[in-house]
Structure 1
Amino acid sequence: MEAKKRGIIYVISDSLGETGELVAKAGKIQFNNSISEIKRFPFVLETEQIDEILYEAKDENSVVIFTLVIPAMKKYIMDKCKEYNIPAVDVLGPVIEALSNLTHREPLFEAGLNRRLDADYFKKVEAIEFAVKYDDGKDSRGIRKADVVLLGISRTSKTPLSMYLAHKNIKVANIPLVPEVDPPKELFEGIKGTIIGLTNDPDKLNSIRQERLKALGLDYTATYANMERILNELDYAEKLFHKLRCPVINVSTKAIEETASIILSIIREEESN
Protein backbone atom coordinates (compact mmCIF):
# COMPACT_ATOMS: atom_id res chain seq x y z
CA MET A 1 0.00 0.00 0.00
CA GLU A 2 1.33 3.43 -0.96
CA ALA A 3 2.49 5.51 2.01
CA LYS A 4 0.61 8.74 2.60
CA LYS A 5 2.51 11.95 1.91
CA ARG A 6 3.89 13.77 4.94
CA GLY A 7 1.69 16.57 6.12
CA ILE A 8 2.13 20.27 5.45
CA ILE A 9 0.71 22.98 7.74
CA TYR A 10 -0.38 26.18 6.00
CA VAL A 11 -0.47 29.12 8.42
CA ILE A 12 -2.53 32.04 7.07
CA SER A 13 -2.73 35.38 8.84
CA ASP A 14 -3.88 38.95 8.23
CA SER A 15 -0.92 40.09 10.34
CA LEU A 16 2.56 38.64 10.85
CA GLY A 17 1.31 35.09 11.39
CA GLU A 18 3.55 34.55 14.43
CA THR A 19 0.70 33.34 16.67
CA GLY A 20 -0.50 30.77 14.13
CA GLU A 21 3.03 29.57 13.51
CA LEU A 22 3.69 29.08 17.24
CA VAL A 23 0.50 27.01 17.52
CA ALA A 24 1.52 25.01 14.44
CA LYS A 25 4.99 24.33 15.87
CA ALA A 26 3.53 23.27 19.22
CA GLY A 27 1.30 20.76 17.43
CA LYS A 28 3.91 19.61 14.93
CA ILE A 29 6.41 18.55 17.63
CA GLN A 30 3.93 15.94 18.86
CA PHE A 31 4.08 14.04 15.58
CA ASN A 32 7.81 13.46 15.05
CA ASN A 33 8.50 13.41 11.32
CA SER A 34 4.91 13.05 10.12
CA ILE A 35 4.74 16.78 9.32
CA SER A 36 7.26 17.87 6.70
CA GLU A 37 6.98 21.65 6.99
CA ILE A 38 5.09 24.72 8.08
CA LYS A 39 4.36 27.33 5.41
CA ARG A 40 3.50 30.76 6.78
CA PHE A 41 1.59 33.33 4.71
CA PRO A 42 1.43 36.70 6.51
CA PHE A 43 -0.57 39.79 5.54
CA VAL A 44 -3.35 37.96 3.75
CA LEU A 45 -5.83 40.77 3.28
CA GLU A 46 -7.65 39.79 0.08
CA THR A 47 -9.71 36.74 -0.90
CA GLU A 48 -7.59 36.49 -4.03
CA GLN A 49 -4.56 35.69 -1.86
CA ILE A 50 -6.53 32.95 -0.13
CA ASP A 51 -7.43 31.50 -3.54
CA GLU A 52 -3.77 31.26 -4.54
CA ILE A 53 -2.66 29.65 -1.26
CA LEU A 54 -5.46 27.09 -1.09
CA TYR A 55 -5.06 26.22 -4.77
CA GLU A 56 -1.59 24.99 -3.82
CA ALA A 57 -2.68 23.41 -0.53
CA LYS A 58 -5.47 21.32 -2.06
CA ASP A 59 -2.93 19.14 -3.88
CA GLU A 60 -0.98 18.46 -0.67
CA ASN A 61 -1.69 16.41 2.44
CA SER A 62 -2.39 19.65 4.27
CA VAL A 63 -4.13 21.39 7.11
CA VAL A 64 -4.81 25.13 7.34
CA ILE A 65 -4.29 27.07 10.57
CA PHE A 66 -5.47 30.66 10.33
CA THR A 67 -5.57 33.80 12.44
CA LEU A 68 -7.97 36.04 10.53
CA VAL A 69 -10.19 38.40 12.52
CA ILE A 70 -12.40 39.94 9.82
CA PRO A 71 -15.62 37.85 9.68
CA ALA A 72 -15.97 37.94 5.88
CA MET A 73 -12.41 36.68 5.43
CA LYS A 74 -12.94 33.93 8.03
CA LYS A 75 -16.09 32.76 6.29
CA TYR A 76 -14.39 32.82 2.91
CA ILE A 77 -11.45 30.69 4.01
CA MET A 78 -13.71 28.22 5.83
CA ASP A 79 -15.97 27.85 2.78
CA LYS A 80 -12.99 27.47 0.46
CA CYS A 81 -11.34 24.87 2.70
CA LYS A 82 -14.61 22.95 2.82
CA GLU A 83 -14.80 23.06 -0.99
CA TYR A 84 -11.27 21.66 -1.28
CA ASN A 85 -11.76 19.21 1.63
CA ILE A 86 -8.88 20.78 3.59
CA PRO A 87 -9.11 20.66 7.41
CA ALA A 88 -9.07 24.21 8.82
CA VAL A 89 -8.41 25.50 12.35
CA ASP A 90 -9.51 28.96 13.46
CA VAL A 91 -7.01 29.81 16.22
CA LEU A 92 -8.43 33.13 17.40
CA GLY A 93 -12.15 32.46 16.87
CA PRO A 94 -12.91 30.59 20.12
CA VAL A 95 -10.81 33.05 22.18
CA ILE A 96 -12.52 36.11 20.71
CA GLU A 97 -15.96 34.53 21.17
CA ALA A 98 -15.23 33.69 24.83
CA LEU A 99 -13.98 37.22 25.55
CA SER A 100 -16.99 38.70 23.79
CA ASN A 101 -19.29 36.63 26.00
CA LEU A 102 -17.29 37.63 29.07
CA THR A 103 -17.34 41.38 28.36
CA HIS A 104 -20.71 41.51 26.58
CA ARG A 105 -19.02 43.59 23.90
CA GLU A 106 -18.40 43.10 20.21
CA PRO A 107 -14.74 42.80 19.14
CA LEU A 108 -13.21 45.48 16.92
CA PHE A 109 -12.51 43.01 14.10
CA GLU A 110 -9.39 44.93 13.08
CA ALA A 111 -6.27 43.14 11.90
CA GLY A 112 -2.87 43.74 13.51
CA LEU A 113 -3.94 45.57 16.68
CA ASN A 114 -1.19 43.83 18.65
CA ARG A 115 1.51 45.85 16.89
CA ARG A 116 2.74 48.96 18.65
CA LEU A 117 1.90 52.38 17.20
CA ASP A 118 5.51 53.46 16.85
CA ALA A 119 7.44 55.25 14.11
CA ASP A 120 8.14 51.99 12.34
CA TYR A 121 4.44 51.20 12.32
CA PHE A 122 3.57 54.50 10.68
CA LYS A 123 6.22 53.87 8.01
CA LYS A 124 4.49 50.59 7.33
CA VAL A 125 1.15 52.34 7.03
CA GLU A 126 2.63 54.81 4.56
CA ALA A 127 4.13 51.99 2.50
CA ILE A 128 0.86 50.05 2.55
CA GLU A 129 -1.09 53.11 1.41
CA PHE A 130 1.48 53.57 -1.35
CA ALA A 131 1.08 49.92 -2.45
CA VAL A 132 -2.70 50.28 -2.58
CA LYS A 133 -2.54 53.59 -4.47
CA TYR A 134 -0.13 52.27 -7.09
CA ASP A 135 -1.43 48.72 -7.32
CA ASP A 136 -2.08 47.11 -10.69
CA GLY A 137 -0.87 50.09 -12.71
CA LYS A 138 -3.54 52.45 -11.38
CA ASP A 139 -1.18 55.42 -11.68
CA SER A 140 2.14 55.09 -13.52
CA ARG A 141 3.49 58.16 -11.71
CA GLY A 142 4.13 55.85 -8.75
CA ILE A 143 6.99 54.31 -10.73
CA ARG A 144 9.12 57.40 -10.10
CA LYS A 145 8.41 57.37 -6.35
CA ALA A 146 8.66 53.63 -5.66
CA ASP A 147 11.52 51.80 -3.98
CA VAL A 148 10.57 48.71 -5.99
CA VAL A 149 8.61 48.34 -9.24
CA LEU A 150 7.15 44.88 -9.89
CA LEU A 151 6.36 43.92 -13.48
CA GLY A 152 4.48 40.82 -14.54
CA ILE A 153 1.55 39.39 -16.45
CA SER A 154 -1.64 38.43 -14.65
CA ARG A 155 -1.29 35.86 -11.81
CA THR A 156 2.37 36.38 -11.00
CA SER A 157 1.71 37.44 -7.37
CA LYS A 158 2.30 41.18 -7.91
CA THR A 159 -0.30 42.43 -5.42
CA PRO A 160 0.45 40.05 -2.49
CA LEU A 161 4.16 40.72 -2.97
CA SER A 162 3.53 44.47 -2.93
CA MET A 163 1.64 44.16 0.35
CA TYR A 164 4.25 41.90 1.93
CA LEU A 165 7.10 44.26 1.00
CA ALA A 166 5.03 47.22 2.21
CA HIS A 167 5.07 45.64 5.66
CA LYS A 168 8.86 45.77 5.39
CA ASN A 169 8.53 49.57 4.91
CA ILE A 170 9.22 49.32 1.18
CA LYS A 171 7.15 51.40 -1.23
CA VAL A 172 6.11 49.23 -4.14
CA ALA A 173 4.34 49.99 -7.40
CA ASN A 174 3.25 47.06 -9.52
CA ILE A 175 2.49 47.13 -13.21
CA PRO A 176 0.49 44.50 -15.13
CA LEU A 177 1.97 43.57 -18.50
CA VAL A 178 -0.42 43.11 -21.41
CA PRO A 179 0.87 42.66 -24.98
CA GLU A 180 -1.73 45.03 -26.39
CA VAL A 181 -0.76 47.85 -24.02
CA ASP A 182 2.56 49.72 -24.22
CA PRO A 183 4.52 49.66 -20.94
CA PRO A 184 4.62 52.98 -19.03
CA LYS A 185 7.24 55.37 -20.38
CA GLU A 186 8.44 55.99 -16.82
CA LEU A 187 10.14 52.56 -16.82
CA PHE A 188 12.71 53.88 -19.30
CA GLU A 189 13.44 57.19 -17.59
CA GLY A 190 16.19 56.20 -15.15
CA ILE A 191 14.01 55.81 -12.05
CA LYS A 192 15.47 55.52 -8.54
CA GLY A 193 13.71 52.28 -7.64
CA THR A 194 14.61 48.67 -8.40
CA ILE A 195 12.68 47.06 -11.25
CA ILE A 196 11.88 43.36 -10.75
CA GLY A 197 10.34 41.13 -13.40
CA LEU A 198 7.99 38.36 -12.25
CA THR A 199 7.18 35.31 -14.32
CA ASN A 200 5.48 31.94 -13.88
CA ASP A 201 5.41 28.55 -15.58
CA PRO A 202 2.81 28.34 -18.39
CA ASP A 203 1.18 25.15 -17.09
CA LYS A 204 0.75 26.59 -13.62
CA LEU A 205 -0.56 29.86 -15.04
CA ASN A 206 -3.08 27.90 -17.08
CA SER A 207 -4.30 26.03 -13.99
CA ILE A 208 -4.43 29.14 -11.80
CA ARG A 209 -6.29 31.15 -14.43
CA GLN A 210 -8.80 28.38 -15.04
CA GLU A 211 -9.44 28.22 -11.30
CA ARG A 212 -9.84 32.00 -11.18
CA LEU A 213 -12.38 31.91 -14.01
CA LYS A 214 -14.24 29.14 -12.21
CA ALA A 215 -14.34 31.21 -9.01
CA LEU A 216 -15.78 34.12 -10.98
CA GLY A 217 -18.37 31.87 -12.62
CA LEU A 218 -16.88 32.37 -16.07
CA ASP A 219 -16.16 29.93 -18.88
CA TYR A 220 -12.78 28.25 -18.21
CA THR A 221 -12.10 28.16 -21.97
CA ALA A 222 -11.96 31.96 -22.15
CA THR A 223 -8.94 33.55 -23.83
CA TYR A 224 -7.57 34.54 -20.41
CA ALA A 225 -6.72 30.89 -19.66
CA ASN A 226 -5.84 29.88 -23.23
CA MET A 227 -2.33 28.36 -23.41
CA GLU A 228 -1.46 30.15 -26.65
CA ARG A 229 -2.44 33.45 -25.06
CA ILE A 230 -0.39 32.68 -21.94
CA LEU A 231 2.71 31.85 -23.99
CA ASN A 232 2.25 35.08 -25.94
CA GLU A 233 2.06 37.09 -22.71
CA LEU A 234 5.12 35.37 -21.25
CA ASP A 235 7.10 36.04 -24.43
CA TYR A 236 6.07 39.71 -24.37
CA ALA A 237 7.11 40.02 -20.70
CA GLU A 238 10.44 38.28 -21.29
CA LYS A 239 11.34 40.66 -24.12
CA LEU A 240 10.50 43.67 -21.93
CA PHE A 241 12.58 42.32 -19.03
CA HIS A 242 15.51 41.85 -21.40
CA LYS A 243 15.10 45.39 -22.69
CA LEU A 244 15.05 46.79 -19.15
CA ARG A 245 17.89 44.47 -18.05
CA CYS A 246 16.08 43.81 -14.78
CA PRO A 247 16.29 40.78 -12.48
CA VAL A 248 13.59 38.17 -13.18
CA ILE A 249 12.07 35.83 -10.59
CA ASN A 250 9.99 32.77 -11.44
CA VAL A 251 7.32 32.59 -8.71
CA SER A 252 5.90 29.20 -9.75
CA THR A 253 7.48 27.22 -6.89
CA LYS A 254 7.96 30.02 -4.35
CA ALA A 255 5.89 31.23 -1.43
CA ILE A 256 5.34 34.99 -1.23
CA GLU A 257 7.83 35.39 1.61
CA GLU A 258 10.48 33.46 -0.34
CA THR A 259 10.11 35.70 -3.39
CA ALA A 260 10.13 38.76 -1.15
CA SER A 261 13.35 37.55 0.48
CA ILE A 262 15.01 37.34 -2.96
CA ILE A 263 13.84 40.88 -3.76
CA LEU A 264 15.19 42.18 -0.44
CA SER A 265 18.55 40.55 -1.21
CA ILE A 266 18.63 42.26 -4.61
CA ILE A 267 17.90 45.62 -2.99
CA ARG A 268 20.64 45.14 -0.39
CA GLU A 269 23.12 44.17 -3.06
CA GLU A 270 22.29 47.25 -5.13
CA GLU A 271 22.62 49.50 -2.09
CA SER A 272 26.05 48.08 -1.29
CA ASN A 273 27.37 48.76 -4.79
Structure 2
Amino acid sequence: MVGGSVANLKRELEQLFPGKWLSGGEVNHSLKTGLASIDFGLSRGLPRRRITEWVGTTSSGKTTVLRTICANWLKAGLNIIYIDTFDRLIASDWCFPEEGGRGKFWVLKSNMDKDPGSRRDFYRDALWACGELIRSRAFDVVVLDLGEKNSITSNLYARLQRALDRSKTSLIVLRDDDSSASDTWGSDLRFAFGFSAPIHCQLGLTGVGNVATILPTIKGFIVKDGMTKGLEVSVNSHVSNRLFTHPQIPDRRSSKTRARAQG
Protein backbone atom coordinates (compact mmCIF):
# COMPACT_ATOMS: atom_id res chain seq x y z
CA MET A 1 0.00 0.00 0.00
CA VAL A 2 2.79 2.38 0.99
CA GLY A 3 4.84 1.40 -2.08
CA GLY A 4 1.93 2.24 -4.36
CA SER A 5 1.46 5.64 -2.73
CA VAL A 6 5.16 6.43 -3.10
CA ALA A 7 5.08 5.43 -6.78
CA ASN A 8 2.07 7.67 -7.41
CA LEU A 9 3.76 10.56 -5.62
CA LYS A 10 6.91 10.12 -7.73
CA ARG A 11 4.82 10.20 -10.91
CA GLU A 12 3.12 13.42 -9.81
CA LEU A 13 6.48 15.00 -8.98
CA GLU A 14 7.85 13.88 -12.36
CA GLN A 15 5.01 15.80 -14.03
CA LEU A 16 6.05 18.94 -12.13
CA PHE A 17 9.81 18.39 -12.45
CA PRO A 18 10.42 16.30 -15.60
CA GLY A 19 13.43 13.99 -15.54
CA LYS A 20 14.05 14.48 -11.81
CA TRP A 21 12.12 11.68 -10.13
CA LEU A 22 11.81 8.69 -12.43
CA SER A 23 14.68 6.61 -13.78
CA GLY A 24 15.30 3.32 -15.52
CA GLY A 25 12.08 1.46 -16.26
CA GLU A 26 10.02 4.05 -14.40
CA VAL A 27 10.70 6.77 -16.96
CA ASN A 28 8.59 4.91 -19.51
CA HIS A 29 5.36 6.15 -17.97
CA SER A 30 2.52 8.09 -19.53
CA LEU A 31 2.38 11.86 -19.74
CA LYS A 32 -0.95 13.11 -18.45
CA THR A 33 -2.69 15.38 -20.93
CA GLY A 34 -5.16 17.21 -18.70
CA LEU A 35 -8.08 15.68 -20.63
CA ALA A 36 -9.95 13.10 -18.58
CA SER A 37 -11.17 11.12 -21.58
CA ILE A 38 -7.53 10.44 -22.53
CA ASP A 39 -5.87 10.28 -19.10
CA PHE A 40 -8.40 7.83 -17.65
CA GLY A 41 -9.23 5.98 -20.85
CA LEU A 42 -7.59 3.14 -22.72
CA SER A 43 -4.31 4.97 -23.26
CA ARG A 44 -3.81 6.37 -19.73
CA GLY A 45 -2.18 9.45 -21.23
CA LEU A 46 0.61 9.48 -23.82
CA PRO A 47 3.61 7.20 -23.27
CA ARG A 48 7.17 8.43 -23.01
CA ARG A 49 9.82 6.68 -25.13
CA ARG A 50 7.16 5.56 -27.57
CA ILE A 51 5.59 6.69 -30.87
CA THR A 52 2.01 7.96 -30.85
CA GLU A 53 0.12 8.48 -34.11
CA TRP A 54 -2.19 11.50 -34.18
CA VAL A 55 -4.34 11.35 -37.31
CA GLY A 56 -7.48 12.81 -38.85
CA THR A 57 -8.71 14.58 -41.94
CA THR A 58 -8.29 18.33 -42.43
CA SER A 59 -10.53 20.23 -39.96
CA SER A 60 -11.17 17.05 -38.01
CA GLY A 61 -10.20 18.61 -34.68
CA LYS A 62 -6.94 16.70 -34.21
CA THR A 63 -4.84 19.88 -34.03
CA THR A 64 -7.35 21.55 -31.70
CA VAL A 65 -7.03 18.72 -29.19
CA LEU A 66 -3.24 18.60 -29.54
CA ARG A 67 -2.95 22.36 -29.01
CA THR A 68 -4.97 22.11 -25.80
CA ILE A 69 -2.78 19.28 -24.54
CA CYS A 70 0.39 21.22 -25.37
CA ALA A 71 -0.92 24.20 -23.38
CA ASN A 72 -1.45 21.90 -20.39
CA TRP A 73 2.03 20.44 -20.75
CA LEU A 74 3.60 23.89 -20.87
CA LYS A 75 1.83 24.80 -17.64
CA ALA A 76 3.34 21.65 -16.11
CA GLY A 77 6.83 22.75 -17.17
CA LEU A 78 7.36 20.32 -20.05
CA ASN A 79 9.45 21.32 -23.07
CA ILE A 80 7.96 20.73 -26.53
CA ILE A 81 9.35 21.07 -30.04
CA TYR A 82 7.14 21.04 -33.14
CA ILE A 83 8.76 19.98 -36.43
CA ASP A 84 6.81 21.90 -39.08
CA THR A 85 7.87 19.83 -42.10
CA PHE A 86 5.82 21.66 -44.71
CA ASP A 87 5.52 25.10 -43.02
CA ARG A 88 1.82 24.72 -42.22
CA LEU A 89 1.88 26.01 -38.67
CA ILE A 90 0.38 29.46 -38.01
CA ALA A 91 2.44 30.97 -35.21
CA SER A 92 -0.40 33.00 -33.67
CA ASP A 93 -2.48 29.84 -33.25
CA TRP A 94 0.21 28.27 -31.10
CA CYS A 95 0.89 31.20 -28.77
CA PHE A 96 -0.16 30.49 -25.21
CA PRO A 97 0.25 33.89 -23.51
CA GLU A 98 -2.69 33.34 -21.19
CA GLU A 99 -1.33 30.08 -19.83
CA GLY A 100 1.75 31.43 -18.04
CA GLY A 101 3.43 28.05 -18.32
CA ARG A 102 6.95 27.22 -17.18
CA GLY A 103 7.68 25.00 -20.15
CA LYS A 104 9.04 26.11 -23.53
CA PHE A 105 7.56 25.61 -27.00
CA TRP A 106 9.89 25.58 -30.01
CA VAL A 107 9.09 25.30 -33.71
CA LEU A 108 11.50 23.92 -36.32
CA LYS A 109 10.47 25.11 -39.79
CA SER A 110 11.66 24.11 -43.26
CA ASN A 111 11.47 27.69 -44.66
CA MET A 112 10.22 26.40 -48.00
CA ASP A 113 9.17 29.88 -49.17
CA LYS A 114 12.74 31.23 -48.86
CA ASP A 115 14.08 28.70 -51.34
CA PRO A 116 11.16 27.79 -53.64
CA GLY A 117 13.40 26.29 -56.32
CA SER A 118 15.26 24.04 -53.93
CA ARG A 119 15.42 20.32 -54.53
CA ARG A 120 15.72 19.63 -50.83
CA ASP A 121 13.83 16.63 -49.56
CA PHE A 122 11.97 18.35 -46.72
CA TYR A 123 10.42 15.07 -45.61
CA ARG A 124 13.81 13.36 -45.27
CA ASP A 125 15.28 16.41 -43.52
CA ALA A 126 12.41 16.43 -41.01
CA LEU A 127 12.88 12.76 -40.15
CA TRP A 128 16.62 13.29 -39.69
CA ALA A 129 15.99 16.31 -37.45
CA CYS A 130 13.43 14.35 -35.45
CA GLY A 131 15.96 11.66 -34.60
CA GLU A 132 18.61 14.21 -33.63
CA LEU A 133 16.21 16.14 -31.40
CA ILE A 134 15.18 12.96 -29.61
CA ARG A 135 18.81 11.96 -29.10
CA SER A 136 19.54 15.39 -27.60
CA ARG A 137 17.33 14.48 -24.62
CA ALA A 138 16.39 18.15 -24.35
CA PHE A 139 12.66 17.77 -25.00
CA ASP A 140 9.84 15.98 -23.26
CA VAL A 141 7.66 15.94 -26.38
CA VAL A 142 8.55 16.02 -30.08
CA VAL A 143 5.69 16.64 -32.53
CA LEU A 144 6.48 15.57 -36.11
CA ASP A 145 3.98 17.13 -38.53
CA LEU A 146 4.01 15.11 -41.76
CA GLY A 147 0.94 16.72 -43.32
CA GLU A 148 -0.35 14.58 -46.17
CA LYS A 149 2.93 12.67 -46.39
CA ASN A 150 1.60 9.63 -44.57
CA SER A 151 4.15 6.92 -45.18
CA ILE A 152 7.03 6.17 -42.83
CA THR A 153 8.97 3.01 -43.60
CA SER A 154 9.53 0.32 -41.01
CA ASN A 155 13.27 1.06 -41.06
CA LEU A 156 12.69 4.72 -40.22
CA TYR A 157 10.25 3.85 -37.46
CA ALA A 158 12.77 1.41 -35.99
CA ARG A 159 15.48 4.08 -36.11
CA LEU A 160 13.25 6.58 -34.29
CA GLN A 161 12.29 3.97 -31.71
CA ARG A 162 15.95 3.20 -30.98
CA ALA A 163 16.50 6.91 -30.32
CA LEU A 164 13.44 7.01 -28.06
CA ASP A 165 14.69 4.03 -26.04
CA ARG A 166 17.62 6.18 -24.88
CA SER A 167 15.52 9.21 -23.97
CA LYS A 168 12.56 10.37 -21.92
CA THR A 169 10.79 11.84 -24.95
CA SER A 170 7.30 11.16 -26.24
CA LEU A 171 7.08 11.33 -30.06
CA ILE A 172 3.79 12.37 -31.66
CA VAL A 173 3.49 11.81 -35.42
CA LEU A 174 0.83 14.20 -36.71
CA ARG A 175 -0.70 13.21 -40.06
CA ASP A 176 -3.61 14.12 -42.32
CA ASP A 177 -5.28 10.78 -42.87
CA ASP A 178 -8.70 10.10 -44.37
CA SER A 179 -8.61 6.40 -43.58
CA SER A 180 -9.68 5.50 -40.07
CA ALA A 181 -8.57 1.92 -40.60
CA SER A 182 -5.03 2.46 -41.87
CA ASP A 183 -2.46 1.71 -39.21
CA THR A 184 1.19 2.58 -39.62
CA TRP A 185 3.77 0.08 -38.48
CA GLY A 186 5.74 0.95 -35.38
CA SER A 187 3.40 3.14 -33.33
CA ASP A 188 2.54 2.20 -29.75
CA LEU A 189 -0.66 4.22 -29.67
CA ARG A 190 -3.01 5.74 -32.24
CA PHE A 191 -5.55 8.55 -31.97
CA ALA A 192 -7.94 9.35 -34.82
CA PHE A 193 -10.25 12.37 -34.74
CA GLY A 194 -13.28 13.93 -36.44
CA PHE A 195 -15.60 16.85 -35.59
CA SER A 196 -19.09 15.78 -34.56
CA ALA A 197 -22.43 17.41 -33.80
CA PRO A 198 -23.64 18.77 -31.53
CA ILE A 199 -21.40 21.65 -30.54
CA HIS A 200 -21.53 23.21 -27.12
CA CYS A 201 -22.06 26.99 -26.96
CA GLN A 202 -20.73 28.75 -23.90
CA LEU A 203 -21.24 32.43 -23.07
CA GLY A 204 -18.35 34.81 -22.43
CA LEU A 205 -15.70 34.39 -19.77
CA THR A 206 -18.09 35.47 -17.01
CA GLY A 207 -20.91 33.32 -18.34
CA VAL A 208 -23.00 36.36 -19.22
CA GLY A 209 -20.91 38.08 -21.89
CA ASN A 210 -22.22 39.15 -25.26
CA VAL A 211 -19.91 36.81 -27.18
CA ALA A 212 -20.56 33.07 -27.31
CA THR A 213 -17.66 30.64 -27.36
CA ILE A 214 -18.26 27.60 -29.53
CA LEU A 215 -16.74 24.48 -28.01
CA PRO A 216 -16.65 21.77 -30.67
CA THR A 217 -17.35 18.19 -29.74
CA ILE A 218 -14.52 16.18 -31.23
CA LYS A 219 -15.00 12.46 -31.55
CA GLY A 220 -12.63 9.72 -32.54
CA PHE A 221 -11.12 6.55 -31.23
CA ILE A 222 -8.01 5.20 -29.52
CA VAL A 223 -6.16 2.10 -30.69
CA LYS A 224 -3.76 0.40 -28.29
CA ASP A 225 -2.56 -3.20 -28.02
CA GLY A 226 -5.15 -4.37 -30.53
CA MET A 227 -8.03 -2.77 -28.63
CA THR A 228 -10.15 0.14 -29.86
CA LYS A 229 -12.20 2.53 -27.75
CA GLY A 230 -14.26 5.58 -28.66
CA LEU A 231 -13.14 9.04 -27.62
CA GLU A 232 -15.08 12.29 -27.15
CA VAL A 233 -13.67 15.63 -25.98
CA SER A 234 -14.90 19.22 -25.90
CA VAL A 235 -12.11 21.79 -25.80
CA ASN A 236 -11.57 25.46 -26.49
CA SER A 237 -9.73 25.89 -29.76
CA HIS A 238 -7.50 28.74 -28.44
CA VAL A 239 -7.92 30.21 -31.94
CA SER A 240 -10.20 32.98 -33.15
CA ASN A 241 -12.52 31.76 -35.88
CA ARG A 242 -11.33 33.43 -39.07
CA LEU A 243 -14.43 32.33 -40.97
CA PHE A 244 -16.64 34.82 -39.13
CA THR A 245 -15.70 38.36 -40.13
CA HIS A 246 -18.95 40.12 -39.23
CA PRO A 247 -19.02 42.40 -36.13
CA GLN A 248 -20.06 41.03 -32.78
CA ILE A 249 -23.73 41.23 -31.85
CA PRO A 250 -24.16 44.16 -29.45
CA ASP A 251 -25.56 43.65 -25.98
CA ARG A 252 -28.87 45.54 -26.04
CA ARG A 253 -29.87 44.73 -22.50
CA SER A 254 -30.42 47.62 -20.14
CA SER A 255 -27.85 48.37 -17.46
CA LYS A 256 -30.24 47.10 -14.78
CA THR A 257 -30.74 43.80 -16.60
CA ARG A 258 -26.99 43.33 -16.99
CA ALA A 259 -26.42 44.13 -13.32
CA ARG A 260 -29.03 41.55 -12.25
CA ALA A 261 -27.46 38.93 -14.52
CA GLN A 262 -24.01 39.56 -13.07
CA GLY A 263 -25.12 39.65 -9.63
The TM-score, its normalising length taken from structure 2, stands at 0.30
Q: Could you say which structure has the higher strand fraction? A: 2
RCO higher in structure (CA 8 A, sep ≥6): 2
